[in-house]
Every structure is written in structure tokens, then in C-alpha cells.
Chain A
Amino acid sequence: MGKVILDMAMSLDGFIAGPNDEDMGLHDYFFSPSNETAAVVEQGIKTTGTIIMGRRSYDIGAAQNGFADNPYQVPKFILSHTIPQSVPNGAETFIFVTDGIDSLIQQAKISAGDKDVVIGGGSNTAQQFLKHGYVDEIQIHLVPRLIGKGIRLFDFMDDIHIKLERINVIDAPDVTHLSFSIFK
């Protein structure tokens, strides 16, 4: 059985996007990768069995045709209330799950098999999976930038205390890749 990994880029001040979903350069490290980042991404592609994202993240990606050149050629499970009429280029392997988070995680795990289930966003989806205790590891790509305002990754967490253990730190020139496991 693979692990469930929350995997997101975050500014040092805790944001994953600007106030209106602007990228704010938070994924520059990914699109022009250093050698260190390229190795992290390559490893991720090898171990990722499925990707989970929220409907909002999906819609933002779809509007920007952001799935056309996605290096992760794996099934993608979307937590959603409704199923869209048509899917954009590159989004052929998208599965819309409308009966809730528990159902989605079961389906995603079965689909991933021995590989990992990766939660790629957005923050609301990430928070739901954390609160439900479904996350085994957190990988944060910490971007050296203070954005000041926007959408926070760790918000509305209702005082849950989660103890982490650092697994790995990869020090790239323009981003710090940090991974933690969650004590259960």
C-alpha cells in the first residue's frame, strides 16, 4: 500500500496563491527546475500513483489549459459536488468523485496500488484531508518569498495538533523541499 502525501508549494509566510488565485511565482522552481528540484520531481513521478485535487484547483487548472503538459500521467481524482460536461486537453484521466472524501480516498488508494496518493491542492482540500487524518506525509516546497496576503495553506485547522517528524530536506538554490511524516 502506498502513502498519502500532501504535496504543495508554499511561500515562507504560508501562502499557496495570491488573494485571487494568482500564482505569485510560487511554481517557478518547478517550471525552470534546478538540478536538485529536477531530481525531486523525477522521484515524485516515479512514486506517484494517483493525484487528488479539489474542484476549485481543477477549474483553475482547466481554465488555463494547465493539464496539457502535465508530467504526471496518472489518474486524477477530483473532490467535487458535480461532474463537468466536458474536460480540457490532457484531462482525460480525471475522475470526479461526488460522494465525499472517504469514498474518494478509498478509490484513489485502490487506483494507486503500491504507489503513493498525492494531494496536490488546493488549501481547502488539503485541510479536509489533514483533519480527517488521511495524510501520512507532508511535502512542502518552501519558496523564499513573502507574499503578504493570499490563500493560506494551513488555515481553519480548528486547533488540531499534529506532531511531525522531519524525513528529508533538499536544499535547492531557489526553494527548500521539506518532507515530514505525521505521527499517528
Chain B
Amino acid sequence: MARVIVGMAMSLDGFVNDRSGSVSRLYPDLEALRKTEVLQEAIKTTGAVVMGRHAYDMAEGDFTGYEFQVPIFVLTHHAPIKAAKGENGRLRFNFITDGIESAMEKARSAAGDDKYVTVVGGANTFQQCINKRLFDELEIDLVPVLLGGGLRLFEHISAENINLEIMSVIESPWVTHLRYHVVKEN
């Protein structure tokens, strides 16, 4: 079964954007980010993507040249009449209106056993994955800044006491990539 990885960039004080909604302090250079080895590795190991509707909309209808050239399962209440540009033999959109569990199940089988389902989305999608325990691995890009306020990543979390194990800690010039897997309870 494909494993599910959720991840976000987060300030040391736990925010994914500041109070004005800006992420500029977390991602000073998106182009540099795209070139990182960590992202290149993610591209290689991702077999399917589960995407929040907001993340889908941020592409403004064009996924041409999108880094993850795999089936994409978009979480939404209503499927759009016409999918975004950029579909091809590998990248195909599937709009899932019956919940994240359903999206995850479909993505897992699309990804294949030896690949990952990568969750691409904002704090809300992330929190759903945590609360419903729909993840095997957690990747946090820890950004060296205190924002003092904004949207908190670990908020509205009803799940308690999830033990993780550190898989890897990678220092890039800007962020610290922390990767964990969930310790399964017996």
C-alpha cells in the first residue's frame, strides 16, 4: 500500500503564514525551493497527489509543467465543469466530492505500492489528515523566523499524543527539513 506523506513549511513558532496571509517570510525564494534536492526526491517518489481545493485554485487553471506529473485527486465540494490545463498521459485530475478518506483511498491505489501519496494543501487539509490519522509520514520545513501571529499549522487538532519517529533531518541553507513517521500503536 502506498504511504501518505503530509508536509508544510512552518515558522519556528508554528505559523504557515502571517496575520496578513502572506507567506513571503516563509518562502523568500520559490525558485530556489523548486530546485532543492528534497523537492526533487519528492517528485521522484510521488505516485499520486491529494490536493486541497484552495491549492488547486491557486494555480489559476493552469498546471502546465507542474512538478508532480501524476494523478491528482482534488478535494472539493463541487467538481468544476472544466478541469485546469496541463493534463496529459500522466497528470490527470480527479475531483473528489465525498471526502478526504475517499480521496486518500483512490490516491493510494493510483500511486502503486512503492510510491507515495503526497498531500498538497494548506493548513486545513493538513489538519484533516492529522485528525483522521490519514498519514504515515510528516514533513515539516522549519523556517527560522518567529511570526508572532497568523495561521497556525497545529490548531484544531483533536487527535492527541501521536508519537513520531525522526526519519531524517536535512539542513538546507534556508530551512531545516524534518521528516517523521508515525509510530503505530499496537
Contact = CB atoms under 8 A, between A and B. Distances in A.
Interface of A: 12-14, 24, 130, 138, 140, 142, 144-149, 152-154, 157-166, 169, 171, 173-174, 176, 178, 180
Nearest to B181: A144
Contacts of A163: 144-145
A154 B176 contact: no
Interface stretch (B11-19, B63-71, B103-111): B11-19
A157 B150 CA distance: 11
Interface string B145-170: 11111001110011111111110010
B146 A145 contact: no
Interface of B: 12-14, 18-19, 25, 130, 138, 140, 142, 144-149, 152-154, 157-166, 169, 171, 176, 178, 180
Name which of B12, B25, B158 has the most chain A CB atoms within 10 A of its CB. B12
A171 B169 contact: yes
A138 B144 CA distance: 10
Given A13-B14, A148-B158, A159-B19, A166 B148 contact: no
A147 B161 contact: yes
A146 B169 contact: no
Nearest to B162: A146
Name which of A149, A152, A160, A162 has the most chain B CB atoms within 10 A of its CB. A162
A165 B149 contact: no
B145 A164 contact: yes
Contact of A145 (B130, B144, B161): B161
Contacts of A161: 18, 25, 145-148
Contact of A146 (B13, B19, B130, B171): B130
Contacts of A171: 166, 169
Contacts of B14: 13-14, 152, 154
A160 B164 contact: no
B171 A166 contact: yes
A12 B181 CA distance: 13
B12 A144 contact: no
A176 B178 contact: yes
Given A14-B154, A149-B160, A161-B25, A144 B146 contact: no
